[in-house]
Amino acid sequence: MFIRPSKGKIISGFRTKRRPNHHGIDISQSGKTDILAVANGKVSRSYTSKSYGEVIFVVHHINGQTWETVYSHLELGTRKVKVNQLVKQGQLLGYMGETGYASRQHLHFELHKGRWNINKTNAVNPVDFIES
């Protein structure tokens, strides 16, 4: 249903024992690394946040279910899409970076079953939904 949002290794998992409030996964890869839309959808946010850094949110409607994906810490100034823009699965959104609260280059990726909310109650483990 979803493709991988980037190449690289998962360096931190979803809501682990050590990081129970980590509501996504961290994927790390060195060098210029494409960040891709995991499914067709519509950009709901594209902005710079203190914690997420340069971040893009995409809303997807798949077989009657709404999902929202979050791609954060993108390389400074590389966001390629605007709010309300339609994106295709595999479309380039930007490049992996370390903006916001990030100590090394990585993608912090979140998958929400339903819309994103501040408490992230709809977050699910992306690994369970990404086709290998």
Compute the half-sphere exposure of residue 39: CA atoms within 13 Å on the CB side of its CA. 20
**Residue 63 C-beta: closest distance to Zn ion, Å:** 28
Q: In terms of CB distance, is 60 or 108 closer to Zn ion?
A: 108
**Residue 19 C-beta: closest distance to Zn ion, Å:** 8
Binding positions for Zn ion, rule: CB under 5 A: 26, 108
Nearest to 102 by CA among 75, 74, 73, 78: 73
Q: Which residues, in sequence order, are CB contacts of 68 under 8 Å at separation 6+? A: 44, 57, 58, 59, 60, 111, 112, 114, 115, 116, 122
Q: In terms of CB distance, is 108 or 112 closer to Zn ion?
A: 108
Q: In terms of CB distance, is 26 or 54 closer to Zn ion?
A: 26
**Residue 102 C-beta: closest distance to Zn ion, Å:** 8
